[in-house]
Structure 1
Amino acid sequence: MPQRIAVIGAGVLGLSVARSLAIQGAQVTVFDKSLPGSGTSQISYAWINANGKSPQSYHHLNASAIDEHKRLQHESGSNAPWLLETGTWEWAADAFTLKQLELRAEKLAALKYPFRVVDRHSLLQALPEIQLDPRIQQAWHFSSECLIYPSLFVARLLADLREKNVEVCVNREVITLDETEENVTLTLSDGQEWQGDHLVLATGRWSSELIGQLGLELGMTDANRADKTACSFLAHTNPLPIQLNSNIITPELNVRPDGGGRLMLQALDLDHHADPARPADVNGMIGVEMLRRLRRLFTNAQGARIERIEVGQRSRPADGLPALGFVTSAQRVYLMATHSGMTLAPLLGRLVAEEIIAGARSDMLTDFAPDRLLRPRSETKGSAAPAYLPAAQ
């Protein structure tokens, strides 16, 4: 008999692990309280990289995940590619930031992470419409990095799940979960029950709510608070006559192609204003400032408009590192909670499926067991909050 496994969460992590579980021969059902990809996966800069990610085990996990994305797209033969093998350009204008970039590049070189340094002339040739500050005389190109169109990636995963007869139950919220030594039981919003062998929680920033039903508290960054660690502005432009086919990280603005000539913008220094409860107006301070920076960065941007600004809410464990593993001694409920979900999804999907089905935990997951972020739930009102590790990159 194949194992019966439920996955809660139809974002890129949940769909990826469901796909890999089905390949391993499991009978898989995916539940989501909304539509596939409509949570954190929908609002993401979707930059696939291992750049500046530490410690070394986290860097290697992300670097391996880049290769996994490329392999998956190559094998899929999709006529709507979700992965853009663009590389990333990055440069700095002031001496301090330039030194930090040089030091980061030295560390990446030691890790054999591919990049090259180019002069000002070569950068201007690569990005024809760019307007460079005179202080910028060189740039770094990180050639292995990619971008994703999240909706197309979700579509590809859903197509694979249909082919493998995985049931994807949308608009069906899991209300309660119960774990015993023998099985897992879920009660759904429509009153139905599901019972099976294992459960995977791929619920992103909502993970703490379901973990609480097992009598545990999980250390996660509160994605609903107004905080640059938890949230980030993402702005989308109208179609523009700008020949940008790569990701660029500049002193004032991060910019990536967003399809059809549109651009996606991110300005990390403005994120301390980000508040999920207060949407940013395209004509307000954030929109006006992003537009000013965009027009300063590119020629042909005179007609640029910000069409919408979203607040991306991050799924981020409290110490910034993934939480991957069974959460109780019964080993029926498996947690997948991570920042960098877009980068890690295909690789983690495969590694987690192998662990659940075969009981073999990959060495790549050794440093990311969830125990460090879990403790018994406080039963007394007013108890002090858990003293979790501070957030880290």
Structure 2
Amino acid sequence: MTQAPLRIAVVGAGIIGLSVARSLSLLNAQVSIFERTHLGAGTSSKTFAWINSNGKNPDSYHALNCAGMREHVALQESEQAEARWLDVCGTYEWAADLLQQERLGARALGLQARDYPAARISRTALQGRIPELRIHPRSGDIWHFPSEAVLCPSLLLARLWSEARQHGATLHEGVDVLDIDERPDGVTLQLSEGKPWSGAHVVLATGRWTPALTASLGVTLAMIDANQPNKRACGFLGLTAALYVRLRANLITPEMNFRPDGGGRLLLQTPDLDDRADPAYQASTDGLIGQEMLARLRRTFHNTAHARLDNLSVGQRSRPADGLPAVGFITPRQRAYVVATHSGMTLGPMLGRLVAQELVEEKRDALLKDYPPDRLLNKSVSDFAPIATLHYPAAQ
């Protein structure tokens, strides 16, 4: 007799949630997605979306991110629609401060030793590729990381949801999960729309909101509070109007990070200013942060004297207390499963496949060996050492 498909709920419709939902539906699970606002409304809509494993440690985390990069390429190559959401455009990075130059060089050589593509490039060659670029004369070696990419989150979300829907997944927007009742044989969600949902498993792909939901199971999960000012969890993102700058690649420069965002627009990041980012305060494009971003932009590129910011926002990142992923069951009954991670853009599609494999086929991939949530359960952020800058060169 044919076994009935597993009924699985996915809470959260960002990159992680939709990646999980897509992969579950491809394995014939009966998937219901619950999203409190709308598709992609959380961190997935405010992100630099840099796909990389540049300086990510320890080795197992580097391997996880490299696998995520390969998964993105394979997924893009399987795309049948015309739109491309992934651009393997590479990253160029350089530093002006001597200490930062030494750290960059050591990181790049370390990546080479891990067979991660990295090579020096001359100023002349780079300015030939980006003619409008200005490079400060005190800048040191320029490093090129050609396998890195940027993506358009909205187009990736469209791909993930389209495929999940085609394989039977349903999306419930504007529905909040009020409570989770876990039993030995399944789980029930109490929903804001009134009618409960019951099934075999629930996957919490709720990013920075995860601790609020694990609390309903009597479990705390140590994550940095992204609702409070904290440069590890919050960061400014500036979006320019269209510029006369021919930039395709991702740039990590001494003053600011730049990536193309379509139609001549650039997305800007200023990691050294992120200690001023407050999610409770809507930064003004005409304020001090906005004006500083524009000043740095004009120092970096020709043709930007009249540049303006169309938007300045504060992105709120999902970050477990030790900076590393938490992927797995969070209770002994193994009905509630959590996926909480930084680098969600890089890891999303790959984690979706591995999570679905574990839930449906009961096989846990070796890439997840070091990342069960146990180390974070019933602890607080103060129980962990501060996240090392080494994990995250620049801001990702």
TM-score (norm 2): 0.96
Select 1:312's aligned residue among 312, 315, 340: 315
Q: For residue 387 of structure 2, what is the aligned residue in structure 1?
A: 391
Indicate yes or no: 2:54 matched with 1:51: yes
Do 2:224 and 2:381's aligned partners in 1 also have CA atoms closer than 8 Å? no
- What SS is found at the alignment partner of 2:306? coil
Rounded Cα–Cα distance in structure 1 between residues aligned with 2:373 and 2:140: 45
Aligned amino acid, residue 266 of structure 1? Q
Q: For residue 243 of structure 2, what is the aligned residue in structure 1?
A: 240
How far does residue 387 in structure 1 lie from its aligned partner after superposition? 2.2
Do 2:223 and 2:381's aligned partners in 1 also have CA atoms closer than 8 Å? no
Q: Deviations over 1:323-375 (max 9, x none)?
A: 00001111111100000000000000000110111111111001111000002
Q: For residue 83 of structure 2, what is the aligned residue in structure 1?
A: 80
Rounded Cα–Cα distance in structure 1 between residues aligned with 2:368 and 2:333: 20
Aligned amino acid, residue 157 of structure 2? V
Q: For residue 168 of structure 1, what is the aligned residue in structure 2?
A: 171
Aligned amino acid, residue 340 of structure 1? S
Rounded Cα–Cα distance in structure 2 between residues aligned with 1:125 and 1:135: 19
How far does residue 137 in structure 1 lie from its aligned partner after superposition? 5.3
Select 2:132's aligned residue among 122, 126, 129: 129
Indicate yes or no: 2:289 matched with 1:278: no
How far does residue 135 in structure 1 lie from its aligned partner after superposition? 2.1
Aligned amino acid, residue 258 of structure 1? D
How far does residue 389 in structure 1 lie from its aligned partner after superposition? 4.4
Aligned amino acid, residue 19 of structure 1? R
Select 2:5's aligned residue among 2, 5, 30: 2
- What SS is found at the alignment partner of 1:375? coil
Rounded Cα–Cα distance in structure 2 between residues aligned with 1:144 and 1:130: 21
Q: Deviations over 1:107-166 (max 9, x none)?
A: 101110012111111111121100111123531110110001111111111111221121
Q: Deviations over 1:39-95 (max 9, x none)?
A: 010000000000010001001100110010010011122311111111001011121
Report the CA distance shift for 1:386/1:104 in structure 2 as closer, same or farther (over 3 A): closer
Select 2:296's aligned residue among 293, 302, 314: 293
Report the CA distance shift for 1:137/1:337 in structure 2 as closer, same or farther (over 3 A): closer
Do 1:177 and 1:186's aligned partners in 2 also have CA atoms closer than 8 Å? yes
Q: For residue 394 of structure 2, what is the aligned residue in structure 1?
A: none
Indicate yes or no: 2:336 matched with 1:336: no
Q: For residue 91 of structure 1, what is the aligned residue in structure 2?
A: 94
Superposed CA RMSD in Å reads 1.2
Aligned amino acid, residue 313 of structure 1? Q
TM-score (norm 1): 0.96
Q: Deviations over 1:296-327 (max 9, x none)?
A: 10001112001110000010000000000001
Aligned amino acid, residue 301 of structure 1? T
Aligned amino acid, residue 285 of structure 2? V
Rounded Cα–Cα distance in structure 1 between residues aligned with 2:164 and 2:20: 10
Q: For residue 109 of structure 1, what is the aligned residue in structure 2?
A: 112
Rounded Cα–Cα distance in structure 2 between residues aligned with 1:385 and 1:256: 32
Q: For residue 103 of structure 2, what is the aligned residue in structure 1?
A: 100
Q: For residue 355 of structure 1, what is the aligned residue in structure 2?
A: 358
Q: For residue 198 of structure 1, what is the aligned residue in structure 2?
A: 201
- What SS is found at the alignment partner of 1:235? strand
Select 1:187's aligned residue among 177, 187, 190: 190
Listed as ranges, the gaps of 5+ residues in structure 1 are: 377-383
Aligned amino acid, residue 74 of structure 2? R
Report the CA distance shift for 1:100/1:161 in structure 2 as closer, same or farther (over 3 A): same
How far does residue 35 in structure 1 lie from its aligned partner after superposition? 0.4
- What SS is found at the alignment partner of 2:211? helix
Do 2:8 and 2:31's aligned partners in 1 also have CA atoms closer than 8 Å? yes
Provide the identity percentage: 50
Do 1:81 and 1:152's aligned partners in 2 also have CA atoms closer than 8 Å? yes
Select 1:30's aligned residue among 22, 26, 33: 33
Rounded Cα–Cα distance in structure 2 between residues aligned with 1:7 and 1:75: 24
Aligned amino acid, residue 111 of structure 2? L
Rounded Cα–Cα distance in structure 2 between residues aligned with 1:368 and 1:236: 34
Aligned amino acid, residue 253 of structure 2? T
Report the CA distance shift for 1:261/1:186 in structure 2 as closer, same or farther (over 3 A): same
How far does residue 385 in structure 1 lie from its aligned partner after superposition? 7.5
Q: Number of aligned pairs?
A: 386
Do 1:83 and 1:147's aligned partners in 2 also have CA atoms closer than 8 Å? yes
How far does residue 36 in structure 1 lie from its aligned partner after superposition? 0.6
Q: Deviations over 1:251-308 (max 9, x none)?
A: 0010000110010000100111100011111111100100000001000111200111
Select 1:140's aligned residue among 143, 168, 172: 143
Select 1:346's aligned residue among 342, 345, 349: 349
